[in-house]
Structure 1
Amino acid sequence: MINFKPVIRVIGLLITIIGAFMLLSIGFSWYYQSGDAWALMISGFICISAGVPAWLLIRKDAARNIKKREGYLIVAMGWLSMVIFSALPYLISGVIPGIPDAIFESVSGMTTTGASVLTDIESVPEGILFWRSLTQWIGGMGIIVLTVAIFPLLGIGGIELFVAEAPGPTSDKLHPRIRETAKRLWLIYVSLTGILVVILYLLGMNFFDAFNHGLTTMATGGFSTKNASMAHFDQPSIQYVIVFFMFLAGTNYTVLYYTLKRRFSNVWHSDEFRAYLYIVLAATLIVTARVYSVTNHSLEQSFRDSIFQIVSLITTTGFVSADYTAWSSGLTMFFFIILFVGACAGSTSGGIKIIRHLVFLRNSFYEFKRILHPRAIVPLKVNQKTVRGKVITHIIIFLLLYLSLFLFGSIVLSVMGYDFMTSVGAVATSLGNVGPGIGAVGPVDNFAWLSNGAKLFLSFLMLLGRLELFTILVLFTPYFWKTN
């Protein structure tokens, strides 16, 4: 029997926190006199009024018995609740009057996808604009806790690849207690965000733009305060700083922790981090050479545009400094493939994650050896530790599910009447939580013109991708609801 008390209690707490963050956004409304303070205030009070009773009325001791089923419900229903309540400021202010559009923008924010239905971002009131960026920062912070503290306990997620005998980000855990681990990673997340905001301000951004882009960069979200995204800030120093912090945000937070502790041997022993670095460097060299040959840009401009787009898409941030679909059809396909890569597990990025690709490719290569030597024991190792067969099976199933969902989603959008490039681009970028895609949802387009049905369907895919597929899909199985 599922114990719904802890589910209701945690959801109430999450909604209350969302409401508190809404009230914090009012400061920008008052400062800029943007006229949206009342919408944020009403939305915040609605959240607090709904969340506090659910949180307080259920006793803490009655909500302690959390098992796997309750854990899945807390994650899935908690994120769904946050998405619904996060849409209130858009609806009440009238910035996004339609419910499907408001839900889409809210889901895109909380899942740090960065796809948008807003056609004129610069006309949006500052309070709502800040709330929009804040949803991504909240979502980024939330995914750290999920991947480090919750997912391993549920037996899911890319972070489990670092598990030996005990749950945690690595077998050499940051701290033996999950709560302390989460605190340390939150501190890194908040500190890096603050440092980036200061740097962007010193480089010439006004405080509002610096604050917003600091939030959405570290969350690998990609929401911008400008219609042209980062192309608006055509200043090399700003764009290179954003590239650097996007790369950091896509790095496993355990690796960042070891870096701060100057335990560089632990950093370099991370197979995923090395692969992440090599992929970025190799892709940058390839794309830079091609961009330089097909455009009249200088070598520096070609390099900057190339590395910006590559890091932005691999980390699933989704910032845009150039239209990569205008360079060549070959590069368009190259960037489409990048939508399926993802950065590191245990980071704020979305997508498949490099560690899964590593394990799958290594296991596939070793399979040839097993065929030639059927009696030989050929262990697969990551970070010099043997990966259990259960984890390998989990990864293969995840990849098959991911591919199946991509194909199914592409067919659904095609049946809705969208062309092939737009269908595959929209589904790939939504499922991978990237933001820009290809076709009519490319880097210079948005999702406003899609039908309400398509927006709601893509919103569902964003949630699926962000919560590692299994968290939501397991709720649709009969096994989950059986009492024994």
Structure 2
Amino acid sequence: MNYKLISKILGYILLIETAFMAPSLILSLVEKDGSASGFYIPMVLAVFLGLILINLKVEKKSLSPRDGILIVTASWILVSLVGALPLFIAAKMTYVDSFFEIVSGFTTTGATVISGIESYPRSVILWRSITHWIGGMGILVFTVGLLPKLGVGGFQIFKAESPGPVAGKIESTISQSSKRLYIIYIILSAALFLCLKIAGMPVFDSFVHTFGVLGTGGFSSYNDSFMSYKGNAVHFILAFFMFLSATNFTIYSLISRKKFKEVLQNDELKLWIFITLAAIIFITLDLYSKGYPTLLLAFRDSAFQVTSISSTSGFANADYDLWPSFSKFILLILMIFGGCAGSTGGGIKVTRISILLKLIKREMKKATHPKAVLPIIADGKTLSDEVVLGINAYLGTYFILAIVSTGIVTLSGVDVITGFSSVATTLSNVGPGFGDIGPTKNFAFYSDFFKLYFSVLMLLGRLEFFTILALFSKSRRRKDIIRL
């Protein structure tokens, strides 16, 4: 492994994290909330370490796939270790609680151990939400623009970071792709902020929820999320943008280049829209038939919670843990499915579900036509056996890990529903779940061991298992590298 180049890149990542802490430090100084030391201490530490690392002399300017995987994994852990310090110092939380909270932020999970968030300094609340925005598209994509300066193409890093089995080619180079993605990301962020302001939300809250929605995170400046928020406009605006945030960003790139035919032919998009609309309709009817006050309210709450859970944002405008069993079952399925590949959402990803359905359909046909050659086609292209095998391996790993982890978590004394939803919501990077971790509760009651265990699950889910697990593989390092 090229440890010097890896360390140099990690140094740049630390400096980037420091830059993102600056707004919280400024807010703390302006409001004189007494939490400034919680930011300048980790900032000084990160700058000091970052400058040492970026000044390392690197002779071999090439990265192997294994190097790229190590950078992704180490970066996520490193920014979480440093990012937890403001909560530890300024909010007087234990370091384990701080680490859990910030891992939840950077992985855009939104699971929390905090009760009464309104009592915390606004600078801490802001930093907590900024971690969602950074993590949403991956802090590694920021560094892609820096890698050419180091003499590195950066392909392996982008591949390891991009969520889903096929992220989609947006431009001819990784650097151009990352720039286009972030232009889209910033435009959507600005649009949501303006919509929330027009709808009457205060400036600070608009920033917090913009970061949370675009990153499909879930941290709010309100302890009950949106359960007490009056008016329909904000609820529908958030639902719409949560849906957009969990849609494959390649779609927006295609739209910007007027390739509407390719958009209409996108299998994942069609299934994503179908799943979302079907879930909203079924839950709306279920709620209204079971005594919800009005059909409009049932539709509003259904649309909000369906887009929140399926996008893995995790915001709540109602205590859905009290909803009918059928509605909760649909939400649990959506929690596992997640959003689209190439989006900021988590979960299994809709594209995998789409390909799995095609695989099942093919096997049913082969049962009656065993000699038939039936390729699996997605978006008009034939998928290789490698992609299909990778999807099967991912799904198998997800469910085995979920089952084993549920067994481990129940050792804490929680019931099976709470145990399974705790695992599913952290593994899929959703946030709140059912039972003792429902939308009105949190993870605070778990011991430090389980908080750290859930932190690992959040990282595994965010980096899609194999990115981290490959580091522990005994196989020899692959020879394909990038050289300039």
Scaled to the shorter chain, the TM-score interval is over 0.9
- Deviations along 1:112-156, one digit per CA (max 9) or x if unpaired, are 00001111100110111100000110001317839x975686579
Find 1:272's aligned residue among 263, 268, 272.
268
Q: How does 1:81-92 map to 2 (within 5 A)?
A: 81-92=78-89
Counterpart of 1:20 in structure 2 is 19
Q: How does 1:68-79 map to 2 (within 5 A)?
A: 68-79=65-76
Q: CA deviation at 1:27?
A: 2.2
Q: CA deviation at 1:183?
A: 0.2
C-alpha distance 257-69 of structure 1, shift in aligned 2 (>3 A): same
Q: Distance in 2 between matches of 1:113 and 1:374?
A: 44
Give TM-score, length-normalised by structure 1. 0.93
Q: How does 1:373-412 map to 2 (within 5 A)?
A: 373-412=369-408
Find 1:416's aligned residue among 412, 415, 436.
412
1:399 corresponds to which letter in structure 2?
L
SS at match of 1:275: helix
- Deviations along 1:228-257, one digit per CA (max 9) or x if unpaired, are 102232221111111111111001111012
C-alpha distance 150-280 of structure 1, shift in aligned 2 (>3 A): farther
Residue pair 1:291, 1:327 contacting (<8 A) in 2 also? yes
Counterpart of 2:426 in structure 1 is 430
Counterpart of 1:54 in structure 2 is 53
Counterpart of 1:464 in structure 2 is 460
Residue pair 1:19, 1:46 contacting (<8 A) in 2 also? no
Q: How does 1:31-50 map to 2 (within 5 A)?
A: 31-50=30-49
Q: CA deviation at 1:31?
A: 3.1
1:428 corresponds to which letter in structure 2?
A
Residue pair 2:165, 2:352 contacting (<8 A) in 1 also? no
Counterpart of 1:229 in structure 2 is 225
Residue pair 1:6, 1:70 contacting (<8 A) in 2 also? no
Counterpart of 2:151 in structure 1 is none
Q: Structure 1 stretch 352-361 or stretch 331-340: which is displaced more? A: 331-340
Counterpart of 1:124 in structure 2 is 120
Q: Distance in 2 between matches of 1:97 and 1:466?
A: 24
Residue pair 2:312, 2:429 contacting (<8 A) in 1 also? yes
- Deviations along 1:417-447, one digit per CA (max 9) or x if unpaired, are 2211110010000000001111100111111
Cα RMSD (Å): 2.0
SS at match of 1:316: coil
Percent of aligned pairs sharing the same letter? 37
- Which ranges in structure 2 are unaligned for 5 or more consecutive residues? 145-153
Q: Distance in 1 between matches of 2:414 and 2:293?
A: 34
Q: Distance in 1 between matches of 2:21 and 2:462?
A: 22
Q: CA deviation at 1:200?
A: 0.8
Q: How does 1:99-248 map to 2 (within 5 A)?
A: 99-142=95-138, 145=141, 159-161=164-166, 169-170=167-168, 173-248=169-244
Q: Distance in 2 between matches of 1:21 and 1:409?
A: 34
Residue pair 1:380, 1:387 contacting (<8 A) in 2 also? yes
Counterpart of 1:166 in structure 2 is none
Give TM-score, length-normalised by structure 2. 0.93
Counterpart of 2:148 in structure 1 is none
Counterpart of 1:261 in structure 2 is 257
1:44 corresponds to which letter in structure 2?
M
C-alpha distance 28-338 of structure 1, shift in aligned 2 (>3 A): same
Q: CA deviation at 1:331?
A: 2.0
Q: Structure 1 stretch 130-139 or stretch 251-260: which is displaced more? A: 251-260
Q: Distance in 2 between matches of 1:238 and 1:49?
A: 42
Q: Distance in 2 between matches of 1:431 and 1:345?
A: 16
Aligned residues: 470
Counterpart of 2:285 in structure 1 is 289
Q: How does 1:268-417 map to 2 (within 5 A)?
A: 268-417=264-413
Q: Distance in 1 between matches of 2:21 and 2:349?
A: 31
Q: Distance in 2 between matches of 1:481 and 1:267?
A: 38
Residue pair 2:160, 2:467 contacting (<8 A) in 1 also? no
C-alpha distance 129-152 of structure 1, shift in aligned 2 (>3 A): closer
Residue pair 1:158, 1:356 contacting (<8 A) in 2 also? no
1:287 corresponds to which letter in structure 2?
I
Q: Distance in 2 between matches of 1:229 and 1:300?
A: 20
Q: CA deviation at 1:482?
A: 9.8
Deviating beyond 6 angstroms after TM superposition, the runs of 4 or more aligned structure 1 residues are: 481-484
Q: Structure 1 stretch 402-411 or stretch 20-29: which is displaced more? A: 20-29
- Deviations along 1:87-125, one digit per CA (max 9) or x if unpaired, are 0101111x1421211110010000000001111100110
- Which ranges in structure 1 are unaligned for 5 or more consecutive residues? 162-168
Counterpart of 1:478 in structure 2 is 474
Greater RCO between the two (CA within 8 Å, min separation 6)? Answer: 2
Q: CA deviation at 1:321?
A: 0.4
1:67 corresponds to which letter in structure 2?
S
Q: Distance in 1 between matches of 2:158 and 2:475?
A: 19
SS at match of 1:176: coil
Q: CA deviation at 1:66?
A: 0.4
2:435 corresponds to which letter in structure 1?
G
Residue pair 2:63, 2:156 contacting (<8 A) in 1 also? no
SS at match of 2:347: coil
Residue pair 2:108, 2:135 contacting (<8 A) in 1 also? yes
Q: Distance in 1 between matches of 2:94 and 2:116?
A: 16
C-alpha distance 178-334 of structure 1, shift in aligned 2 (>3 A): same
Find 1:98's aligned residue among 83, 90, 94.
94
SS at match of 1:454: helix
Q: Distance in 2 between matches of 1:160 and 1:119?
A: 37
Q: CA deviation at 1:398?
A: 0.2
Counterpart of 2:147 in structure 1 is none
Counterpart of 1:66 in structure 2 is 63
Q: CA deviation at 1:177?
A: 1.0
Q: Distance in 2 between matches of 1:480 and 1:317?
A: 38
2:72 corresponds to which letter in structure 1?
V
